[in-house]
Amino acid sequence: MDICDEKCINEKMVRKTAKTIPQKEVIEQMVDIFKALGDPTRLKIVLALLNQEHCVCDIAVLCNQTDSAISHQLRILRTMKILKNRREGKIIYYSIDDDHVISLINMSLDHVRH
């Protein structure tokens, strides 16, 4: 981290805080989780799966979206290991694969309710 001496107002404080900021990789992973939940369709999907698994088709109904749109978002959430799925014949059931995400959602619910 190179700190410009010219512009920096309070170099000591900046240096101190700089040490506390997580490394790039960690920040990127945090951003990815928040970004995943920062879309109404994806958040609704996760909310719909909080208590039980559902098939793609039912998730689409619950989210008022087309199967295709939901499938695209499910792939993103699956790739991120936020969701997992299991096949039963033609039907594929999705469920939550990450307890931290549940905690994040409950905490943001607290936030909204002040």
Residues 10-29 that bind its own copies (CB under 8 A): 10, 13-14, 17-18, 20-22, 26-29
Secondary element (H or E) of residue 84: strand 83-88
Residues 73-112 that bind DNA (CB under 7 A): 73-76, 85, 87, 89-93
Radius of gyration of the chain (CA): 19
For residue 47, state whether it binds its own copies (rule: CB under 8 A).
yes
For 55: left if phi > 0, alpha if psi spans -120 to 50, otherwise beta; the answer is beta
How many residues in the shown chain lie near its own copies by CB under 8 A?
A: 56
Secondary element (H or E) of residue 76: helix 67-79
Residues found near DNA in the complex (CB under 7 A):
7, 9, 35, 39-42, 55-57, 65-69, 71-76, 85, 87, 89-93
